[in-house]
Structure 1
C-alpha cells in the first residue's frame, strides 16, 4: 500500500505559511483541496485494486460457488466509481479557488465556505471561465476540461455513478442483479 501514500512533495505544510504571508488564501485552499483530491484518488485506486482481486478472505460461504466473490468485487467496483466521480467536484473546487472565482477573504465563517462549495459546479464554472478565457491559462484550461468531460469513459463513469446514486445498484452480468 506504499504506492497509495501521499508523495512527500504534497506534504508541505510550511508552504501554506508562504501563501498566508502573501495573502493568497485562494491558493492555500486550492492546495488543501489538491491534497484531498490526491487522498481521494488513493481511495479510488485501492477500491479498483480490490475489485480486480480474484479472491477475498471473507465470511461468505462457497456453497453458492463464486457468486459471493463476485458480489464482494462488485462492491469495491461500485465504491471506486462513486469515489472517482466525486473527484470531479474536487477538480472544480481547486480551479474555483486557485483562479479566485470568489474572494476567499470573504470566507470568514464555515457556512460561507460551505455555501461557496455548493457553487463549485460545472454549470456555474463554465460561464465564469468563458467570460475570462482571454486571461492566461483560463482559455487553455477550459478547453482541456471540456475535452476531458467529453470523453466516453468519463461520461460512462458519470452515468454509472448516477445509476448507483439513484437506484443503489448497477447491472452486473454474473450477479444477475438489475437496478430499478
Structure 2
C-alpha cells in the first residue's frame, strides 16, 4: 500500500482513496482524486461523492465497494471484514471515523464531530487489533488499535469494505 498524507486539512478522503486504490494497482494523484470526489474547502468530501469516485476507479475490476453501518455489529463484524479485505483480498478498506474519537487525538480539537477517513491495512485476530494509516500528518501515520477502540471512533456509515 502506498502511504499518503493529506495535502490539505480537508483532503482525508482523497488521500485515503489513493492508499486504498494503490492496493488494486490503480495509481491516481491525490489532486486528481480530490477533483473527482468533488472535495471542497472547508468541509472536504461527502461520503456519497467518495463512493461514486472510488466505484468509478474500480470499474473493470472484479471488485465492488460498499459500506455498512456499525450500529449493533460489534467488534466481530469489523474484524471479519478487515481480515477478509486485508488478509484474503489483499486490499485496504476505508474506515469512516470521528477524528476526535481516535485514541491518538484524545483531548485535541473541538467538541464538534469532525468526519475523517483512514485506511485499514493490517490486523491481528488473536490480539483483536487493527493497523490503520491516518493521513492527517500532525497525529496520523501508522497506528495499531483494538477493534473495540476503532468501533468507538466509527461514524454511522462505518466501514467501506471491498468484496468480489
**TM exceeding 0.5:** no
TM-score range relative to shorter protein:
under 0.3
Q: Which has the higher contact order (CA 8 A, sep 6+)?
A: 2
Larger radius of gyration: 1
More helix by share: 1
TM-score normalized by the length of structure 2: 0.26
Higher strand proportion, which one? Answer: 2
Q: Scaled by the length of structure 1, what TM-score is found?
A: 0.25
